[in-house]
Structure 1
């Protein structure tokens, strides 16, 4: 358990000294609220994929990588959370920290947003056995019916570039430990988490943000 490091990151429009508490006891969350500028940067970037209720009362954000084994196990957990909680808004932040193959998959996945098939493609990438890389990602893209030529063009778009750059910046700014990291309200959890643990995180966020 630790607090995130204090970093100055002016290119995101954040002020210096913003902090987020990770793993602090839930009872203390109100004493260390997330600054609104940081919350907006995490939850409200226009091109970030949103699942569940887009107008939900609380947002759960996951920072993930397609080559992170624990991130892969979170897919059915997130799906069930959304099914059980009609007021939950989920933001998926592509954070490719496992090298060039992960970056290719993140770019392709974000590009699929422009064809309205993000969740199908995301789920397919997470189901890849072995390393997710260009060849396996494009096979999944074909299987879910994406226009492959358009996908490759959109991978170089400003929207895709901006999402990945902001995820990298936020990870550095907050001193995130790795993937997956789940953030809701004023608190976050790192590593493989059960549905009940994430429900508790969301419940505390609702209490803090009420």
Structure 2
């Protein structure tokens, strides 16, 4: 290998290292900025209209900004539910709707209507379980959901009427506004007792939840 080739390899390696360090620094600065936003806007985590799962008196609250057409939200759903189920009443999930994807708006409205009928979890599971069909990236068709939900227990006539109301639109609008306030630009966006993940990932979420459980339930 010539000196010129060695020099080019070194330059390339240094460029990769510099890029990686820059990315880490950028992510840290983004996380720090989001932490500051969360502290300055604590009221956004207390919206009475939001669906919840888990003990109402839990001292640890996971707030998830959720898009029903988001594949990552679907992948995380069973894991997040398991965190709550295994918490012995110490963790609660709060869901906020941010329909960023094409076709997600109707699905989000249906979930708001389902929450009003106390059927959020069973309807959410149908919505996520059929996501590959109604939320196709090439041609999303959320109207298909009405057929999938026929056996979910949802009163379809009431739900169809509800999704047309200003009240349901207001729920989505407030959740979107709160997401913007917290600089949530992709889903799922997780906060635990108002604290954002420093790095996105399942293990990071589990670690943050465990840390908050230990803090909140310290003897």
The TM-score with structure 2 as length reference comes to: 0.74
Q: Match of 1:61, SS?
A: strand
Residue in structure 2 matched with residue 105 of structure 1 by the alignment: 107
1:182 and 1:40, CA in 2 relative to 1: closer, same or farther beyond 3 A? same
Is the 2:34–2:183 contact (alpha carbons within 8 Å) kept by the matching residues of 1? no
Q: How far is 1:175 from its partner?
A: 1.6
User: Aligned residue for 2:196?
Assistant: 188
Between the aligned partners of 1:81 and 1:49, the Cα distance in structure 2 is 17
1:4-83 equivalence runs, <5 A: 20-21=34-35, 34-35=38-39, 38-42=41-45, 44-83=46-85
CA distance in 1: counterparts of 2:50 and 2:29, whole angstroms = 25
Q: Which residue of 2 aligns with 1:176?
A: 184
Q: Give unpaired runs (5+ residues) of structure 1.
A: 6-18, 22-31
Q: Structure 1 residues 150 and 192 mapped into 2: Cα distance closer, same or farther (>3 Å)?
A: farther
* Counterpart contact for 2:114–2:123, Cα < 8 Å: yes
Of the candidates 150, 159, 170, which is equivalent to residue 158 of structure 2?
150
SS in structure 2 of the partner of residue 66 of structure 1:
coil
SS at match of 2:184: coil
Task: Give, in whole Å, the separation in 1 of the partners of 2:172 and 2:215.
Answer: 29
Figure out how many residues of one structure are paired with residues of the other and give that number. Answer: 184
Distance 1:127 1:191 in 2: 27
CA RMSD of aligned residues (A): 2.6
| Partner Cα distance (1:123, 1:192) in 2 | 23
- Given that 1:56 and 1:87 are in contact with CA atoms closer than 8 Å, whether structure 2 keeps it comes out as yes
Higher helix share: 2
Q: 1:87-132: CA deviations, max 9, x gaps?
A: 1011011110113x10000001110112121100011101112343
Match status 1:114 vs 2:121: no
| Structure 2 match to 1:24 | none
The alpha carbon displacement at 1:207 in A equals: 5.5
Does the alignment pair 1:205 with 2:208?
Answer: no
- Measure, in 1, the Cα distance between the counterparts of 2:38 and 2:117: 34
